[in-house]
Amino acid sequence: MSQTPARIPQNYLRTPDAARYLGLSGRTLEKHRTYGTGPAYRKLGAIVVYAVEDLEAWASRGAVTSTSDPRGSVLPAKRQPELPPLVPSRGHR
């Protein structure tokens, strides 16, 4: 007896399709997910899916109009340095 793959709504894409949509490899999108640098995703049981609107929003964060513009805010798919811990200000409790 073969198992039918779970049906995913059309506005959600599995990792390979989401990667193709963005012009990335599936492995790069997986790395972004691991390091927290990629688009928002959802877990439906064991299946990872991406909403098309989340993919578009993430890609738009990297939009620039010229090479002299500040770099977009899409980070590379690698471990990012952790932010220093917040130090409470004095005099406030």
CA angle 32–44–76, rounded 5-degree value: 5
Longest dimension (CA), the chain: 69
What are the residue ranges spanned by the domains of the chain?
12-60
H or E element: which one contains 49? strand 47-51
Instruction: Name residue, tokens 């793959």.
Output: 5
At 62 the pLDDT is: 84
Note the Cα 35 to chain centre separation in Å: 9
Q: How many Cβ atoms sit within 10 Å of the Cβ of residue 13?
A: 22
Q: What is the pTM of this model?
A: 0.69
Burial 79-90 (b: 16+ CB within 10 A, else e): eeeeeeeeeeee
At 65 the pLDDT is: 79
Q: For each of the chain's 93 residues, which pLDDT tens digit applies?
A: 455 556 666 799 999 999 999 999 999 999 999 999 999 999 999 999 999 999 999 999 888 778 777 766 777 777 777 655 555 555 544
At 28 the pLDDT is: 95
At 58 the pLDDT is: 94
At 93 the pLDDT is: 45
